[in-house]
Amino acid sequence: MFDAGILPYYLHLLDKVKGASHFDVAKEEGITIMREVMKRQPGFLVPKLVREIGGQPGKTPIDLGLEPQNELRVRIDN
């Protein structure tokens, strides 16, 4: 996609609507897909996993359950 000038921004978990069940992906499967994408692509090519939730303004990000790795701490003394 990047070679075609496209930057992925969102990967949607779709609403369950009539006639679209063949597009349904379980939340857990979406998270697994995102983790694989993160292993293979640099950060700017990794879209956000989101879902539309009724009553919420806009898209709701899905927590991927990632743990911080190798936290970098810097101490500055004046």
pLDDT tens profile 44-58: 999 999 998 878 888
Q: Is residue 57 part of a domain?
A: yes
Predicted pLDDT of residue 29: 95
Domain count, the chain: 1
Asked if residue 66 is part of any domain, the answer here is no
- Per-residue confidence of the chain (78 residues) as pLDDT tens digits? 788 999 999 999 988 788 888 888 999 999 999 999 999 999 999 999 999 887 888 899 999 988 766 666 777 886
Sign, CA torsion 41/59/31/69: positive
In the numeric block, the tokens 């609507």 are attached to 17
Q: Tell me whether residue 55 is in a domain.
A: yes
* Residue 69 domain flag: no
Distance between CA 54 and CA 20 in Å, rounded? 18
Domain hosting residue 15, numbered range: 2-61
Q: What is the pLDDT of residue 66?
A: 82
